[in-house]
């Protein structure tokens, strides 16, 4: 079979689309908080918890009450040493699953790059991967805390001096202070002391380290740059690792799970449904930013804004083969536009469960449907098909973007795939196996096609072969749909197709309400089958 998968639940499925254009949602409820709470503190007569013993004394209306409250306090202090009756507080490291372990070979998962945690379970927090020990990480933490304390004191002194200087006027671009100039000179001096290059002994040491550990350890970084810049890099590493550890402790991140929770795509912010194999540096992000025209993915809103200012794309690459009002379809060759098609497949995997094709896109053609406005052609959905399908599959994968689901675009994509089969004078069928929701979408389309044919049919004998030739639907799909509609009976050795007028009347009523806004017009297609197909 083909390396791609059957169509998934992208075409008008009943699954709700998690789409919103602004604001935040709480996606996970906080549970088990009651087990971590202390007992209710004593209350003052006003109903607020006392902040100290003096609050208790001040709130006493008379001496008897004072004695009673003092007695209660002494009892509470005595009981404070026996906390066996209290729910045990969960420590940070106890919230881990201890079946997890660090993926670095030879690491026992003890220590953390930041020096703040007792254990780690990822490469980003592994001291061994960074060629350090757990004790060295703790020493670095203490040194950084000392420098931070000194820095805070200096900042406080500067703030006080500014307050006392009443004649000092704030300006937009202030000249650097003497301390800042001295610091700048110090940094320049440290960078000038950088070695001009590695000597032979250092190169041999680095090569030996690389050959011994390969990619399981970070390369040796000493003497490659100045000590000042290396220290800045180490601080950035530790800070990023600490942020990731906080997310993991909060339960927002779990090892091996899909960490891309949302994507920013044009005017929409979409919740993802499944894992997609984006590069690790992007897969670690909770949110991914994408250009809705060229489908490039980025790490931040700033990068996206700069990209959009330079991006010249306003529609998919390839040839526009269909246009009716503001709906267009572009034919994109996976061989000619490889990067775009790979990005499209990675995007589709966020909403398709069983998709297996991501990078081998050259044997496929992609038909991308867009909706145009004054800003460009916005991606509605797409389907892919093999250039040379041995089994005459006319669809390998199909997707409707979540923000356009349940609006009729899915059936338009399916109808367009069969229109291409008619032009090719072939009978088509989607690639198997179909997912459950994909089967629902196709059954709905096949039902509409058959009931429309029955409504227009004026003869007495119906041939499944003739239906197939006129609609380009595979006879197997026609038979399965007739059976599902209970319109196929076996009587006296023959198969009979029953014309159920009740189903036809219901279909006509729905068609009248639906209108013709979401239909494919065959006259708007300007396309000839590619050579060799």
Q: Which of 295, 313, 331 is the last residue of a domain?
A: 313
pTM over cut 0.85: no
Query: What residue spans of 112-226 are helical by DSSP H?
Result: 134-164, 178-192, 200-213
Are 299 and 240 members of one domain? no
Residue with tokens 């459950």: 436
Instruction: Assess whether pLDDT exceeds 80 at residue 86.
Output: no
365: Cβ contacts below 8 Å, ≥ 6 apart: 331, 332, 333, 334, 384, 385, 386, 387, 530
- The total domain count for the chain is 3
DSSP secondary-structure letter at 58?
Answer: H
**pLDDT per residue as tens digits for the range 293-345:** 999 999 999 999 999 999 999 999 999 999 999 999 999 999 999 999 999 99
In a domain, 86, yes or no: no
In a domain, 140, yes or no: yes
User: For the chain, how long is the longest CA-to-CA vector?
Assistant: 109
376: Cβ contacts below 8 Å, ≥ 6 apart: 292, 293, 313, 314, 315
Q: What is the mean pLDDT of the chain?
A: 78
Are 473 and 387 members of one domain? yes
Task: List % helix, strand, coil for the chain (3-state, nearest 5).
Answer: 40, 15, 45
Instruction: Assess whether pLDDT exceeds 90 at residue 347.
Output: yes
pLDDT over 70 for what percent of the chain?
Answer: 74
In a domain, 33, yes or no: no
Instruction: Assess whether pLDDT exceeds 60 at residue 175.
Output: yes
Are 450 and 304 members of one domain? no
pLDDT (average), residues 467-478: 93
In a domain, 25, yes or no: no
In a domain, 163, yes or no: no
Give the range among 1-10, 152-161, 199-208, 240-249 with minimum mean pLDDT: 1-10
- Residues 117, 241: contact at Cβ < 8 Å? no
**pLDDT per residue as tens digits for the range 197-243:** 678 888 888 888 888 888 888 888 887 788 888 888 888 888 888 88
Strands 393-395 and 429-430, by their bridges, are parallel
CATH of the domain at 299: 3.30.60.60
Are 517 and 401 members of one domain? yes
Are 299 and 318 members of one domain? no
In our burial notation (b when 16+ CB lie closer than 10 A, e otherwise), range 328-340 reads bbbbbbbeebeeb
**pLDDT per residue as tens digits for the range 177-203:** 788 888 888 888 888 776 666 788 888
Are 304 and 286 members of one domain? yes
Are 326 and 465 members of one domain? yes
pLDDT classification of 83: cutoffs 50, 70, 90: very low
Give the whole-angstrom CA distance, residue 232 versus residue 196: 20
In a domain, 51, yes or no: no
In a domain, 134, yes or no: yes
Are 339 and 290 members of one domain? no
pLDDT (average), residues 379-385: 96
In a domain, 48, yes or no: no
Are 434 and 352 members of one domain? yes
**pLDDT per residue as tens digits for the range 498-529:** 888 899 999 988 888 877 778 999 999 999 98
User: Is 53 one of the catalytic residues?
Assistant: no
Q: Would you say how long the chain is, in residues?
A: 533
Give the residue from 475, 382, 473 showing the smallest Cα distance to 428. 473
CATH of the domain at 337: 3.40.630.30
Are 463 and 410 members of one domain? yes
DSSP string, 346-386: HHHHTT-SS---SS--TTEEEEEEEEEETTEEEEEEEEEEE
Give the range among 25-34, 179-188, 258-267, 420-429 with minimum mean pLDDT: 25-34
Domain enclosing residue 285, as ranges:
256-313
- Residues 141, 116: contact at Cβ < 8 Å? yes
Are 292 and 333 members of one domain? no
Are 304 and 231 members of one domain? no
Cα R_g (the chain), whole angstroms: 34
pLDDT (average), residues 361-383: 96
pLDDT (average), residues 136-163: 75
Task: Point out the catalytic residue in the list 431, 461, 466, 470.
Answer: 431
């Amino acid at each position: 079979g083909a390396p791609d998968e059957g169509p998934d639940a992208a075409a008008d499925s009943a699954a709700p689309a998690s789409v919103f254009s602004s604001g935040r949602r709480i996606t996970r409820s906080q549970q088990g908080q009651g087990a971590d709470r202390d007992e209710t503190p004593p209350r003052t007569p006003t109903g607020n918890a006392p902040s100290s013993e003096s609050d208790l004394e001040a709130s006493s209306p008379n001496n008897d009450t004072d004695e009673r409250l003092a007695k209660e306090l002494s009892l509470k202090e005595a009981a404070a040493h026996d906390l066996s009756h209290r729910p045990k507080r969960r420590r940070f490291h106890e919230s881990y699953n201890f079946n997890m372990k660090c993926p670095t070979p030879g690491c026992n998962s003890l220590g953390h790059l930041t020096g703040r945690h007792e254990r780690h379970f990822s490469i980003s927090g592994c001291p061994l991967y960074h060629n350090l020990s757990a004790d060295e990480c703790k020493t670095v933490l203490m040194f950084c805390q000392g420098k931070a304390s000194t820095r805070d004191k200096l900042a406080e002194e500067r703030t006080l001096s500014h307050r006392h200087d009443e004649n000092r006027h704030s300006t937009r671009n202030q000249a650097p202070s003497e301390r800042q100039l001295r610091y700048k000179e110090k940094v320049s001096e440290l960078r000038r002391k950088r070695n001009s290059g590695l000597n032979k002994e250092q190169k041999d040491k680095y090569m030996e380290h690389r050959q011994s550990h390969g990619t399981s350890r970070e390369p040796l970084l000493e003497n490659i740059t100045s000590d000042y810049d290396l220290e800045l890099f180490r601080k950035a590493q530790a800070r990023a690792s600490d942020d990731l550890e906080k997310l993991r402790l909060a339960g927002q991140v779990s090892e091996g799970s899909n960490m891309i929770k949302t994507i920013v795509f044009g005017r929409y912010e979409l919740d993802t449904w499944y894992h997609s194999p984006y590069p690790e540096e992007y897969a670690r992000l909770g949110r991914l930013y994408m250009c809705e025209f060229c489908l490039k993915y980025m790490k931040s809103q700033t990068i996206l804004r700069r990209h959009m200012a330079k991006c010249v794309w306003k529609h998919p690459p390839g040839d526009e083969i269909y246009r009716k009002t503001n709906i267009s379809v572009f034919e994109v060759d996976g061989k000619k536009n490889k990067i775009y098609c790979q990005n499209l497949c990675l995007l589709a995997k966020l909403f398709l469960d069983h998709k297996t094709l991501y990078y081998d896109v050259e044997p496929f053609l992609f038909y991308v449907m867009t909706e145009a406005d004054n800003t460009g052609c916005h991606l509605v959905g797409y389907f892919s098909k093999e250039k040379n399908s041995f089994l005459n599959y006319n669809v390998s994968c199909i997707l409707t973007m979540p923000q356009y689901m349940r609006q009729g675009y899915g059936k338009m994509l399916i109808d367009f795939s069969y229109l291409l089969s008619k032009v090719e004078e072939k009978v088509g069928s989607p690639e198997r196996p179909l997912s459950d929701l994909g089967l629902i979408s196709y059954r709905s389309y096949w039902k509409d096609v058959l009931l429309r044919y029955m409504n227009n049919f004026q003869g007495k004998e119906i041939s499944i072969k003739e239906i197939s030739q006129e609609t380009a639907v595979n006879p197997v799909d026609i038979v399965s749909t007739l059976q599902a509609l209970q319109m196929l009976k076996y009587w006296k050795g023959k198969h009979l197709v029953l014309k159920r007028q009740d189903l036809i009347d219901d279909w006509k009523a729905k068609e009248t309400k639906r209108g013709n806004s979401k239909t494919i017009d065959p006259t708007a297609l300007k396309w000839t089958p590619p050579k060799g197909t």
